[in-house]
Amino acid sequence: MKLLAKVALLWLTFAASLSGQDVQPAPKESAGAASLYRDPQKAKALAIVLPGAGYVYTGDYLLGYATWAGTATSLITGVVTYQFDGCLSIDFTRACKPPPRWTYRAAGILLIGVGAWIWVSSIRDAQHAAERANARHQLRLSPPPQPRDTLPGPRLSGKIELH
């Protein structure tokens, strides 16, 4: 339990170090202000190193944590299940008659495969997450639409005249 708490604390510290510390100007299509730019290649590299780190880098904190937790849980549970011998008896006086071991090995391999699939999927999606974060940020920086001057009909001035 202490090990799990230390790993979670380490991951949260790592996630906090990634959150918005990388500010670079975006490629400018128009004369706009500098914006946050999330590099897709950096997001992919972080996702390769640690599952979910690419999502944390792009600002998807909940998805990053879910990816990390799902990958770690699947891999650890898969290894434990693969090595399980089938005897979990508190009464040590009786001999254990375990079921066939291949069932535990197959379940362990399946769980390890699920963990690997989650990790690989997060690596593939990290680049797209960076592009989505850049698009969201660009929308926040774009100016609101201006009222049109060429509306049909009579012009109204701000003055009220009474006759």
Q: Domain residues of the chain, as ranges? A: 11-88+97-141
Identify which has the larger pLDDT, 89 or 60.
Answer: 60
The whole-angstrom separation of Cα 152 and Cα 80 is: 74
What is the pTM for the complete model shown? Answer: 0.61
**Opening angle at CA 153, ends 149 and 155, nearest 5:** 60
DSSP 19: S
Token pair for 47: 């996702």
The SS3 call for residue 10 is helix
Contact by Cβ (8 Å): 104, 86: yes
110-131 pLDDT, tens digit per residue, is 999 999 999 999 999 999 999 9
74-109 pLDDT, tens digit per residue, is 999 999 988 887 776 666 666 777 778 888 899 999
